[in-house]
Amino acid sequence: MFRGDIDMGDAVATARIETQSRNLARILSWTYWVTAFWLFAAMSYVPLKRLGAALVSAERDALASVAAFSDVVVEALPVIFALIAVYTLRRLFVQFADGQIFIPSNGRRLTRAGDWLIASAAAALIISPTIGRAAGIPVETVGFNYSAVVLALVGLAIRLFGRTFELAADIKADNDQMV
């Protein structure tokens, strides 16, 4: 096999990665914006409704609207953290689409995306049951969130892959300097 054949295969593989990354970045961008819109609509509806009532009626309604907004924000933390992970992954695939694959910042982005997924899972496992108990829901009906455990495991795997990717980028940079 000639060296030119290997380079041609690498060029085709790189072009394929760039194309697939561009498509995935577009999908992640749509996912991010649709979820952000949905989250904004869900988070603002009840507090704005109560705030409108507070403008008409007594001061305690204003405090109730602030409390309702804080409850909604705390309940939405898992989605907010997952949304940050989606945005981080979108930025990673934009870099891939630009042909910048084995660079250390991509490994850090991948690690950060894993961290945000772990934070999302932790928020779902800890915050939701805590709010459920505070709202008076019996502990038996506040179920254990198995999908959050799976999300945490996926986040840990992505985090480890990101650290490995960062190390591979450093090795590639060393090889590029020697050649």
Phi, psi dihedrals of residue 2, rounded to the nearest 5°: -85, 155
- Residue spans of alpha helices (H) in 57-103: 59-97
H and E: helices and strands count for the chain: 4, 0
If one counts every other C-beta atom within 10 angstroms of the C-beta of residue 128, the result is: 18
Which pTM does this prediction carry?
Answer: 0.77
pLDDT tens, per residue, the chain with 179 residues: 334 444 556 788 888 999 999 999 999 999 999 999 988 887 777 666 666 655 555 555 666 666 667 777 778 889 999 999 999 999 999 999 998 988 889 999 999 999 999 999 999 888 767 776 776 656 555 567 788 999 999 999 999 999 999 999 888 888 888 86
Q: For tokens 């660079």, what's the residue?
A: 103
Residue type, 164: T
